[in-house]
Every structure is written in C-alpha cells, then in structure tokens.
Amino acid sequence: MNIQQLKYFIEITQTRNLSSAARNLFVTQPTLSLSIKKLESELNTSLFVHTDEPFQLTNSGAYLYEKGMDIVEQFDQLIADMHQMNERTEKKRIKIGLTTLFSVQFMKEISTFLQTHPYIDLSIVQDGSPELQSKLKNKEIDIGLISFPNNHPEHITIEPLETTTKGYNVYVVIPESNPLSQKDELTFKDLKGQRFSSLSTKYMIGRLLLERSRFFGYEPDIVLQNDDLQVLIHSLQKNDSICLLPIEYQVVGKSDDVKWIPLKDKYAHFPIGIGLRKDFNLTPDINDFIQAIKQN
C-alpha cells in the first residue's frame, strides 16, 4: 500500500461516487477501480460492502479510513514542512549600493552580517554616490551607503551615520615634485592653473572640483578622468597632475613620491548615511544589515 492508494480510497469513501472521486483526483474511473482492487488484494480484505447503497465500508474499510485519514494528514503536513524548510534555506537577495571607499571602510561589518545571515545573497553595486542615489530612487538597489547631499529628497531619505565612520574628508594628492607639495593646506584658489586627474561627476568629489573651481573663476584643466582611485593616484607622476581624493583612502591607495595635503574648503567634508526609498518597507534582514553597519 502506498500513500496514493490511500488517498484514492479516502476520496471514494467521502464522495461515495466513483465518477466524482475520479474528477476530484484528476484520474480516470478505471484507474480508481484498479487501484482499489489492488489495495484490497494487498491487504487481503474487502474494503467496501457490496450492497445497493454504493461504497459502504466494511469493518476493515472503516478502520483503514479512520487510521488512513491521520496518515494522509501527517504526510501532507510533512510535505508542507519540507517546502517551508526549503523556502527558509533559499537565498534572499539584498542589493546594496556602495562606493569603493565605503566597501573598504565597512568590509568588516558586511562580512560579519554575511556570517550571521548565511541565507542572504548580498549583491553589491559599486558606483559614485550621485549615481547610487539615482539607482535607489529607481528601485535598482534596496539600500545604499551614500554621501550627502540628498539629490532626491522627494524620493529617498539618508539617515546620517553616528559611527566612527561618519564621512570622508577631501585632500589634494600631489607629486612631491610639485611646488604646492610644500604647503600645509591648499585651497581651490591655490589649485588654479594645475593639471587634474579627476573622478567623473558620478562621484561627489568629481562634482566638487567642477563646482568650486568655477565658483573661484576658472575651469579646471582635467587631463585624465577615471573612476578607479588607484588609476588616478598612479597617473599623477606620468601626467604631471594632481587629484582630489578622500584621505580615508590613503591606507589602501599608497603610492610613492606623492603627498596628501588637506583641502581647506567649506565643502571638503562629506557626511555619509544610510539611504532608503521613502516607499520602501524595511524587512527584518535589511534592518539587521543596518544595525551591523552601525557597529562600525
């Protein structure tokens, strides 16, 4: 006897009609008749009394029906439980937007989150903060670690981070052979006439260079534009150029014969925060991710 035979028997018993039972089970009547005959043969007993009233149970049939109902219920519950277990073990995807710098700064917290949430498939999208804000607004990512200012306040919110990493500070990276390398700090006025290797306007610093240079009355001479921070650093000697980068990147962006000099400007500090869409329903897993980031 198998579970399918038992289900066929129970359906016939409940409907007392072979045609109705076949329709409910999506099988043919001959299939049901053959299944019952085989079941009776295997159990060596009659399950139904052959009377004018169809499908009346024998004592054996009544016993099989009573016990069989429990067996089928337990079997169906077992299948449901297995499906739920599979659903729980399936990877849930979270798409997070990060800049290259933030990937470095928060890698420990991200790794800890993944260790404690092995069922999460964390998809990391790297780009500049302006682009990540647009991706967040357009629902291309679920959450972002992004810089202020908020370019889309009608669509997204940015919660400032009150952690050891609250933002980044812009420095001028300059070859030691450049006379400006002897300065203790530099302003945009000092940078007039310099050649620049620069991030694109996908990044806040790329926008800062254009906007503040123009504010001080000149167009920056950009000889190289690249969004790879290492490429920018290593281009300085070859191109006789300077670049603006976060000082926080210095620990990984090492290069010989260059100096990192503070940029004195009221916009040289960029606070960062956790960006979410205003219409986004915060899931428990994403809330856990936010709490992990706040441990920085």
174 and 27 housed in the same domain: no
Do 235 and 102 share a domain, yes or no?
Answer: no
Domain that holds residue 61: 3-87
Q: What is the pTM of this model?
A: 0.64
Instruction: Mark whether 152 and 281 lie in a shared domain.
Output: yes
What is the number of structural domains in the chain?
A: 3
Give phi and psi for 202, each to the nearest 5: -70, -15
Are 277 and 157 found together in one domain?
A: yes
**E strands, 81-225, where?**
92-98, 120-126, 143-147, 156-160, 167-175, 195-198, 221-225
Owner of token pair 């806040």: 204
Q: E strands along the chain, which residues?
A: 48-49, 56-57, 92-98, 120-126, 143-147, 156-160, 167-175, 195-198, 221-225, 243-246, 258-262, 269-277
Q: Do 262 and 177 share a structural domain? A: yes
The partner residues of 173 in beta bridges, in order of sequence, read 243, 260
Question: What average pLDDT is seen over the chain?
Answer: 88
Give per-residue pLDDT as tens, 237-281: 999 999 999 998 887 767 778 999 999 999 999 999 999 999 988
Same domain, 79 and 172: no
DSSP 8-state symbol, 256: T
Are 157 and 77 within one domain? Answer: no
Rama region for 184: left / alpha / beta (φ>0; ψ in -120 to 50; rest): alpha
Same domain, 150 and 290: yes
Same domain, 156 and 20: no
pLDDT in tens, 127-183: 899 999 999 999 999 999 999 899 999 999 999 987 767 789 999 999 999 999 999
Same domain, 68 and 51: yes
pLDDT tens per residue across span 180-203: 999 999 999 999 999 999 999 999
143 near 286, Cβ under 8 Å? yes
CA angle 249, 255, 258 (to 5 degrees): 95
The CATH number for 286's domain is 3.40.190.10
> Quick one: 206 and 76 in the same domain?
no
| CATH number reported for the structural domain that contains residue 46 in this entry | 1.10.10.10
- The listed range with the strongest mean pLDDT (39-43, 103-107, 288-292) is 288-292
- Beta strands, E only, 99-194: 120-126, 143-147, 156-160, 167-175
Nearest to 254 by CA among 194, 138, 173, 149: 173
The burial of 143, by beta-carbon neighbours within 10 Å (0-12 exposed, 13-18 middle, 19 or more buried), is given as: buried
CA distance 140 to 118: 23
- The SS3 of residue 52 is coil
Paired strand residues for 1: none
Please give the residue that has the higher pLDDT: either 11 or 217: 217
